[in-house]
Chains A and B, each alone.
Chain A
């Protein structure tokens, strides 16, 4: 089983809600990761705030942070090999790794729209 692991910096909210705007890159990542999960690929994101332990356990990411600091994040490992750092992988890269087409990767999941008012 292929493993795609992405290590991300600490974000107050990775939705960007607490930032100045919603980040389209983060949104794209949500789509891609969701769609990858439907396949037999192990697709995981590790956020520094919630899962600092993941950054300690993975020696490669730990080393990377020691030498390059925060600029190295986000960093993507495919089957343990660092293939992308300082930015999120492109859809073309994901496609190459997963065998899914770029279209399949960014397909929107079906969810009920706004539930504003009844939360």
Chain B
């Protein structure tokens, strides 16, 4: 694999970056923008990060119009906050009715417009405006977006009947298109935006990932989805690849070996694209000088933070708490790519070893049954897997069978697209999960995915509504209605948020925590995975990494109210009983 350098930059006017939080999308997008601007091209960099670290990087306040970046000729930046866009959109829909409709009614409307779909669509609306705004396009040579729209949003906008008959005379049901309806006047803009995204002369999609097994798999999925919609001009960027400098440090050698192994297993879907790497840096790329140096391979002065001597609690503290409190359900949750399945497996293993009866259920598509346990048979543990794909397929069949009794073809096409929405997958998985809980009443149940606050509120509202109109449970599965109140009972359910000691994962974790609180769930523990701070190393690179982590531990300590534990980075992927025991940390070995 070659290093990503100037000669590999695509020369399309639009560049989109996609990848899970924490893979370095913003760093790569910013570095690239600085480099292109440095050659005299006029560049507009657009961030959609709600807590834009672009503002920190450039030390400037950004808004939703292009702002000149001081110190870099030809570079302008703009910040679109999708949450804010959704908020604005929601207000546009609800605002005119304030004072005119009672408060409870407004609340009901607002919650219905709080789903992932609304945020996605509101964000796309902002994208589309920029992508088709002549004054913007003609003013810049290159427009760089640090994030790309999802497949679901694009498909929704592409349904041929979307803007014609269905919205006009849809009496049989609203849908994810409910939120879309308010955007109807812009239909031509969307069409043009989507065409632009699909054209290889206009747009290049940069897939940013890490040299690790699961992130590579996730990237393959995202790539495939966008490829099928027609965005086929894709380039793979593996960020954080550590060059082998033949160090004698055991940890550094292991770190490199793990990366090489992961890259050998690169999913075949990704092999058709050009692939490049960007080097591992142990510090955060939080200034222009550092980013420029990173792109051009110059040596830069290393960050030299003084270690604050914080003691980092090990994961066994959390296990001790569980043994004492004995919650019935334990969720491990995160925004992907930080190892929640591993953490769930570790908790299951340890509680079982202490004599508790445990049922572990996973939705991780990357995990085979018993994957994390390897071939080891473990006493007191049963394992099951909820396959989101087949749960959605079952649910889809059920829904379509019923919907086709009343709907015409356009209506059905919409229902089908709704079924591909993130909310639907969550609901389908939640139903399956409720059955697991019902069937394993005598065991502690550990699950590696948790529903979002919106899903819980939605289920709640629907349940109350069903009870009201049909004076019965309606068709709400009993397992679901039994489970809802228990999730809010802190003695019954415990939530552990999994994160990494880095900017984006920590930020995403705080958002998850807020979202759950909105639905009345409380978070008990934060688990900081893959930390270098708790390992012994002589590698200068890894020592710097340890220092860079200090800041994030401080933040986590405060966000978690001091309820956090850390898991060390380990030399080989933690598989099997022995592998999982490596996660304990030094003093518990």
Contacts and interface: CB of A to CB of B under 8 A. Distances in A.
Nearest to B406: A30
Interface range for B = 35 or more
Contact of A19 (B94, B105, B109, B462): B462
Interface string B468-481: 11110011110010
A10 B112 CA distance: 7
A92 interface: no
B100 interface: yes
Nearest to B466: A23
A77 interface: no
Interface in A49-87: 49-50, 52-53, 55-56, 62, 65-66, 69-71, 74, 86-87
A25 B415 contact: no
A65 B172 contact: no
Contact of A48 (B109, B423, B469, B477): B109
Contacts, number: 175
B404 A19 contact: no
A18 interface: yes
B512 to A, nearest CB: 20
B418 interface: yes
B241 to A, nearest CB: 41
A30 B405 CA distance: 10
B407 interface: yes
Contacts of A15: 172-173, 175, 399, 403, 415, 418
A26 B475 CA distance: 11
Contacts of A112: 409
Nearest to B474: A23
B458 interface: yes
A55 B96 CA distance: 12
A98 B413 CA distance: 32
Contacts of B101: 52, 55-56, 62, 65
Contacts of A115: 409, 412-413
Interface in B365-407: 398-407
A17 B175 contact: yes
A12 B423 contact: yes
B102 A66 contact: yes
A52 B182 CA distance: 12
A56 to B, nearest CB: 5
A34 B173 CA distance: 12
B465 interface: yes
A95 interface: no
Interface in A98-119: 108-109, 111-116, 119
Given A114-B400, A119-B416, A48 B105 contact: yes
Given A21-B475, A22-B399, A114-B400, A52 B102 contact: no
Nearest to B484: A20
A83 to B, nearest CB: 16
B458 A12 contact: yes
B34 to A, nearest CB: 42
Given A18-B424, A27-B402, A65-B102, A13 B178 contact: yes
A9 B178 CA distance: 13
B399 A27 contact: no
